[in-house]
Amino acid sequence: MKYDVIIVGAGPAGIFSAMELIEKAPEFKILIVEKGKDIDRRQCPMDVKGAPCLSCPECDLVSGWGGAGAFSDGKLNLSPEIGGFLSRHVDTATLQSLIDYVDGVYVKYGAPMELYGGDGKEVARIKELAAKNDLTFVPSKIRHIGTDRCRGVLKRMREFVNEKVSTLFETEVQRILIEKKRAIGIKLKDGQEICADYVILAPGRASAKWLETECRRIKLTLLKNPVDIGVRVEVPAPVLEPLTSATYEPKLIFYSKKFDDKVRTFCVNPYGEVVKEHLKGMWTVNGHSYAERRTNNTNFAILVSTFFTEPFDEPISYGTYIARLANFLGGGVIVQRLGDLMKGRRSTHERISKGIVEPTLKDATPGDLSFVLPYRYLSDIMEMLDALDRIAPGINSRHTLLYGVEVKFYSMQIKLTDSLETEIKNLFAIGDGAGVSRGLIQASASGVIAAREILKRPPLLLSPK
């Protein structure tokens, strides 16, 4: 069977492309191909009490309906300045309109009405305090869905899409089919070829490397992207309460004095927990917070962004190397007390048990992050912790826990038109895996942009079925 549109990937970008096409062109024949499982079948074996990581071929935490967002904290950052690079393709007013539209869809499918970051006086206070301490505060209104509610929102979206599109789960795409510089379909790993008039690539971070390999094969122009490497910080929740109560997720940027590197906070989880993510044979660290239950701690990432210069152009491989080094030394994720790091010694279970911060990631291995992270990264992180301590006293405490490593894999960006079409006609690339976005809102918005462009094309472009 031939389709009007094939969407590769069922994360937020792919889902929103499908929903937009269904709403505006219900007559379209649409196929979604997803290498992971359907939302009801996604379950990490570690959630079963006592079950170790089985190193599943496709990790249920990052692959399947909803992508990595299904198990994420579900924060919707409603500022054009946060969560991606769509501002390179659309003007600020258009991007804000897209963000508002996408946010409304999330609310329609069950996201809560409550917004954080709307108190102008508190936002101004935090912005002034940050500026006095070498930090830039990026204000944003935030809607927090919560890890426990994300699945419900995604299930309702799945129910809407289910009757109107065909979906192949646990199916991998091997190649994009091109004819005369025009996308004509896909080839699956089992050898089956499926034709379509349009192909939308929305593979997510988990398949960023596959997408990069395919783009090189079909000779698309690739642009350099940074690799973000750092640690996840865990502190007593009251330490960050003055910031999180007003903004939920304070976005703070710092430029290190020693190296002038950009360092930023990312994914703040008030009263949340630190979690592991398994991706292609390696462990990285992340964080969650829930709508219905709380821990005593707040966690967040400190990430250092690095742009590599020629001839090196393998940021994903570099990030993978750092993550695997941590796994090699710690058998998974390493945790270290800040006080131990400052004294040049590894942490032990005994030393961590004496601290005031009880780890929420119970199977992290006490160790020494200085054997994993290059000196430049550690120096940047230590400077950032010192700056943060001046606006939230207690962060730079000897009891603070650092988990490593946290790596954000963003593929090399693809040269795209303003409608997110590649140099191959009728081939679109959207979402985090394509280097377009870095979060739920802009990933979803990118899906809408691609779908709306397809909807603009004259019907005559669609081949007869």
pLDDT of residue 464: 45
Q: What is the pLDDT of residues 95-117, one digit of tens each?
A: 999 999 999 999 999 999 999 99
231 is a domain residue: yes
Instruction: For residue 357, give its domain range.
Output: 227-408
Instruction: Kindly state whether residue 126 falls inside one of the protein's structural domains.
Output: no
Q: 189 and 296: one domain? A: no
- Report whether 17 contacts 448 (CB < 8 A): yes
Question: Is 118 in contact with 140 (CB distance < 8 Å)?
Answer: no
Q: What pLDDT is attached to residue 461?
A: 43
Q: Is residue 155 part of a domain?
A: yes
For residue 133, being part of any structural domain is answered with no
Query: Looking at residue 460, what is its pLDDT?
Result: 40
The pTM score is: 0.86
**In which residue ranges of the chain is pLDDT below 50?**
49, 460-465
181 is a domain residue: yes
In 103-225, at which residue ranges do the beta strands (DSSP E only) sit? 135-138, 142-144, 166-168, 173-178, 183-188, 193-201, 222-223
Considering the domain architecture, whether residues 200 and 343 belong to the same structural domain is answered as no
For residues 170 and 85, state if they share a domain: yes
Question: Cα separation of 78 and 139, whole Å?
Answer: 10
Q: Which residues contact 140 (CB under 8 A, 6 or more apart)?
A: 77, 78, 79, 81, 82, 117, 247, 249, 251
Find all residues with CB under 8 Å of 143, minimum gap 6, and list them: 75, 76, 78, 103, 106, 107, 111, 112, 114, 115, 116
pLDDT in tens, 308-355: 666 666 777 888 899 999 999 998 999 999 999 999 999 999 999 999
Total of domains in the chain? 2
CA angle centred on 240, ends 146 and 364, rounded to 5°: 70
- Residue 463 confidence (pLDDT): 47
**CB distance 244 to 268 below 8 Å:** yes
Classified as helix, coil or strand, 456 is: helix
Within a domain: 329: yes
261 and 190 both lie in a single domain: no
One domain for residues 192 and 276: no
Residue 22's CATH number: 3.50.50.60
Residue with tokens 């491989």: 317
Mark whether 210 and 263 lie in a shared domain.
Answer: no
- Among 370, 389, 408, the domain-final residue is 408
Do 49 and 165 lie in one domain? The reply is: yes
Considering the domain architecture, whether residues 16 and 83 belong to the same structural domain is answered as: yes
Q: Quote the CA–CA distance of 440 and 226 in Å, as a whole number.
A: 19
Do 162 and 256 lie in one domain? The reply is no
Listed residues 390, 408, 426: the one ending a domain: 408
Of 365, 388, 408, the one marking the end of a domain is 408
**46 is written with which tokens?**
């570690």
Closest CA to 72 of 61, 84, 58: 61
Tell whether 166 is covered by a domain. yes
The verdict on 159 and 212 lying in the same domain is yes
pLDDT of 315: 74
Tell me whether residue 443 is in a domain.
yes
C-alpha R_g of the chain: 22
The Cα 248–Cα 321 span in angstroms is 33
Same domain (yes/no): 451, 430: yes
The verdict on 216 and 242 lying in the same domain is no
State the burial class of residue 349 (Cβ atoms within 10 Å of its Cβ: 0-12, 13-18, 19+): exposed
